[in-house]
Chains A and B, each alone.
Chain A
Amino acid sequence: MRKYYITTVLFFIVLMAGISGYFSDSFIKSIARVWETKPLKVEGSFNQDMKRLIGEIDNEINSNTGFRLQFVELHGAVQKYTGNSIVKDADKTVVKLKNNKLSFYYFSVEKEKLDWESQQLSKLSQFTNRMGIPLLYLQAPFKIEKNSEQLPEGLSDYINEDVDYFLKKLSTDTQVDYVDLRELMKIKKLEYDAAFFNTDHHWKPETAFWAYTQIAHIIKDKYGFVIPEKVLSLKNYNIKEYKNYFLGSEGKRVGRYYGGVDDFSLIYPKFHTDLEFKIPSKNLTKKGTYLQTVIDHNSLGVKDYYNKNPYAAYTGGDYPLNIIINRQAPNQKKVLLVRDSYSCPFAAFLSMGVNELHIIDLRHYNKSLLNYIKKEKPDLVLFLYYPTRLNDFDTFQFN
């Protein structure tokens, strides 16, 4: 019986360690927040509403368990030492690529849905063209290079093929202007693997800056924007490096021991800037220099792998709507950027080249994009979407 006694004592020690996490203010606040923000309302059935509420509480309980991060690290270490290159969670799967980078694993999108999305974009393009506003779709690159065979042998995904199909539809059937940044990276011989974080699906700020300069040149040539080299040359920007500072969304799921951590760069202008940065959903307006406005120092201030997201230091992360007004802008152009999280650093850089940058994230913006365009009458509408946006049909609903 002695072995059972010892094990039971150890069991209760572990139990107490886990329970200790619930005696914190943050847990009580998070449960209160769930209760306030998810009141029971008759959206579906009572059962569905209750299940949703219970699901939210479950999540909060799980994420506030004592020593949670140590448990996550332990799990990652076991996966690493058992040679597991696929880590499947309840909602997402992280794969370790042959180049040791992490990537989410995605399923293919049905062709009918890609057709529908290209038609939606075409209708929007026709709408803006009638108003005399050009529309340009920018296809962000997927973390795994086309035909690179970076996935573990035996695993395949079709994201790049889906993107090819979608872009082909845009060019042949709908005649929407687009720029395929994957192709541009190849033409400009940008090192593909180095363009992305190891532990996050996003591109590095350096890559976003490169994309900004490329797109700036395109809109100069195509739409006659005046954007001087001063705001386009990296020489006129400081780069502050943060070593081993960032654990991306893929890395957070598998822990530091499994996929390592990333360095992070803050790129900011050497020249004088005077901006106004508005976040209407928070009723917030910041005025001042680039560093005082579009950079969120809360995301960057302290190294905290699991609770901070330095990538969101650029423009503060995902909001329904942001507006950046550049009082030192080289032109009087107003641009509307329809975005996902890939645009965080891109939007910050682009704000240097235009007078007004309106940024809408359709994952969170629940009003009509068409009405916004009608109201604001921008000089150019840009879309910048990561390939997996093709699997998120709400971001192609523009009414």
Chain B
Amino acid sequence: MLFSSSVFIFIFFPVVLAGYYGLFRKRRKMQNVFLLICSLFFYAWGEPAFVLIMLVSILANWLFALWIHHEERLKKQRFILGLMSAFNLSFLFVFKYLMFTIQSINGLLSSHFSVPEIALPIGISFFTFQAISYVIDVYRGHGEVQKNPMNVGLYIAFFPQLIAGPIVRYETISEQIKYRKETWNDFCEGCCRFICGLGKKVLLANTLAVVADAAFNSNSSNLSVAFAWLGALAYTFQIFFDFSGYSDMAIGLGKMFGFHFLENFNFPYISASISEFWRRWHISLGTWFRDYVYFPLGGSRVKRSRLVFNLFVVWFLTGVWHGANWTFIVWGLMYFVLITSEKLIGFEKKWPKAKPFKHLYTLFFVIIGWVIFRAVTLSQGLGFIGIMLGIKGHALFSADFFLYLKMNWVYFIGAILCSLPFNYWVKLKFNKESLIYDCVYAVGMSAVLLLSLACIIKGAYNPFIYFNF
């Protein structure tokens, strides 16, 4: 089920609210069971059969955590940790990477191994990473072990973050599962955050997706330099507003039920370095890799060669996590090269007066990265970049560039403004207690809500871009 659908907004969400705050009010255990059942239903609405796979993951990781908790010998605990990692990663490998691996082997060795047809359960990367986080955090003593599998189920399958993140660390919400406190303030803030995310997804991401699709799906021989840039820029905004919109909706929904998730995006496009970009982009994934992969490998307090190796592992895995395709691997490795170079030359501390250039450099590589990420094949991505850079001799402008720019310039301006911390500047200008500001805010948010619902109910283009994740 998608947040940006009538069934979610008008049926599922009100039913969950009514059950949670009406039927099971002030009965925490029942509320948790109810939320878990609703979350499984939420997942089953899009992936009816795969809900069983998620249940297997929940039960297995509940057992792993109990086992690790009751085991006192460090060696044995590490063995269990290894077993848990092997279980979860092989789970992920079979559903997500097996086909790709066999296809790649066949391609490289000209062999003919049969490629099994395995459908990818939506959100498997998200819920597997949360499951791993649960067991590791229990092992590290960063959260109490859950004796009740229902609570583990709720942590892993809680519907707001289930299919598109953020990846919620167990240590973040281990207390909240039993002892959270719902307040009217949180509820209203969460509601506004949800509307904000809905607007980002429906009004900006979905609209700009039409431009990106037109550019990326057009015949590459007719693609002009300007239209290629417009398409790349549209996708740059699409993926940001789609992803951060989903995160906003998840954070908002969580708040409405008393959960406090950490922020997942922090205006990434204002970054002045690639390293900073990744501290602002998909923060939950970055910190997951930092804490569960990079630090255990030794982090940055190691020899240079080891540092390069550690970074390579992290960025290779980051690429692979996003999908089983060479495009994602190359995209991840591009960031490995850029971030390693930045670290080795101390880029962030150098040239403080060249900030505009640093912003441009960051944006340039981020956009180039998104082109590779969006492309169906690596050759398509490289060809597209070739056109953008003008090395393929394509026309500078074309009629489709002007057509799509004319139709969408309002949305591009909206996207640029929403990519900047505009909201904070406005807040500083206005008195916090100003009635005018409050009314303008409420009217503005209501307009965003109505326009978003108009698109949803009308059945406007509503792509789901996480099917690879």
Give A residues with C-beta under 8 Å from B: 1-8, 10-11, 14-15, 18-19, 22, 45-47, 50-51, 54, 57-58, 61-62, 65, 68, 71-72, 74-75, 78, 82-91, 152-155, 253
A47 and B14 within 8 A (CB): no
A7-B446, A90-B461, A154-B399 known; A15 vs B14 contact (CB < 8 Å): yes
Closest to A49 in B: B48
Is B37 an interface residue, CB under 8 A from the partner? no
Q: Which B441-465 residues have C-beta < 8 A from chain A?
A: 441-442, 445-446, 449-451, 453-462
Is B172 an interface residue, CB under 8 A from the partner? no
Is B179 an interface residue, CB under 8 A from the partner? no
Q: How many residues of B contact A (CB 8 A)?
A: 56
A14-B450, A154-B403 known; A58 vs B7 contact (CB < 8 Å): yes
Q: Which residues of A contact B416 (CB under 8 A)?
A: none
Which interface residue of A19, A88, A155 has the most chain B CB atoms within 10 A? A88
Which interface residue of B402, B455, B457 has the most chain A CB atoms within 10 A? B457
Stretch of B131-139, B189-197, B305-313 contacting A (4+ beta carbons < 8 Å)? B189-197
Is B185 an interface residue, CB under 8 A from the partner? yes
B11 and A154 within 8 A (CB): no
A50 and B49 within 8 A (CB): yes
B457 and A68 within 8 A (CB): yes
CA distance A78 to B199 in the complex (A): 14
Partner of B191, one of A7, A47, A68, A84: A7
How many residue pairs, one in A and one in B, have C-beta atoms under 8 Å apart? 150
A3-B441, A88-B461, A89-B459 known; A11 vs B10 contact (CB < 8 Å): no
B188 and A4 within 8 A (CB): yes
In whole Å, how far is A310's beta carbon from the nearest beta carbon of chain B? 22
**Do most interface residues of chain A lie in helix, strand or loop, or is the interface mixed?**
helix
B10 and A7 within 8 A (CB): no
A62 and B11 within 8 A (CB): no
25 A-B pairs in the complex with CB atoms less than 8 angstroms apart: A2-B435, A3-B192, A3-B442, A4-B191, A6-B438, A6-B439, A7-B188, A7-B192, A7-B442, A8-B192, A14-B446, A18-B10, A45-B49, A50-B48, A58-B6, A62-B459, A65-B6, A75-B451, A75-B454, A88-B210, A88-B460, A89-B458, A89-B461, A153-B403, A253-B458
In whole Å, how far is A250's beta carbon from the nearest beta carbon of chain B? 14
CA distance A85 to B402 in the complex (A): 12
A82 and B191 within 8 A (CB): no
**Do most interface residues of chain B lie in helix, strand or loop, or is the interface mixed?**
helix
Is B94 an interface residue, CB under 8 A from the partner? no
B454 and A82 within 8 A (CB): no
A4 and B189 within 8 A (CB): yes
In whole Å, how far is A14's beta carbon from the nearest beta carbon of chain B? 6
In whole Å, how far is A238's beta carbon from the nearest beta carbon of chain B? 38
Is B398 an interface residue, CB under 8 A from the partner? yes
Stretch of B84-92, B155-163, B340-348, B404-412 contacting A (4+ beta carbons < 8 Å)? B404-412
Q: Which B1-53 residues have C-beta < 8 A from chain A?
A: 5-7, 9-11, 13-14, 45-50
A71 and B403 within 8 A (CB): no
Partner of B49, one of A2, A47, A84: A47
Which interface residue of B441, B442, B446 has the most chain A CB atoms within 10 A? B442
Q: Which residues of B contact A4 (CB under 8 A)?
A: 185, 188-189, 191-192
Q: Which residues of A contact B408 (CB under 8 A)?
A: 84
Is B437 an interface residue, CB under 8 A from the partner? yes
In whole Å, how far is B339's beta carbon from the nearest beta carbon of chain A? 37
Q: Which residues of A contact B5 (CB under 8 A)?
A: 58, 62
B48 and A47 within 8 A (CB): yes
CA distance A15 to B11 in the complex (A): 10
B455 and A75 within 8 A (CB): yes
B457 and A65 within 8 A (CB): yes
Q: Which residues of A contact B6 (CB under 8 A)?
A: 18, 58, 61-62, 65
CA distance A217 to B13 in the complex (A): 62
B11 and A11 within 8 A (CB): no
Is B265 an interface residue, CB under 8 A from the partner? no
Is B400 an interface residue, CB under 8 A from the partner? yes
Q: Which residues of A contact B126 (CB under 8 A)?
A: none
In whole Å, how far is B386's beta carbon from the nearest beta carbon of chain A? 22
CA distance A15 to B17 in the complex (A): 12
Q: Which residues of B contact A54 (CB under 8 A)?
A: 45-46, 48
Which interface residue of A6, A22, A83, A154 has the most chain B CB atoms within 10 A? A154
CA distance A86 to B435 in the complex (A): 40
Contacts A7-B195, A11-B445, A71-B458 supplied; 14 other A-B pairs, CB < 8 Å: A1-B189, A3-B442, A4-B191, A11-B191, A11-B449, A47-B50, A61-B6, A61-B7, A61-B11, A72-B454, A82-B407, A84-B408, A89-B461, A154-B398
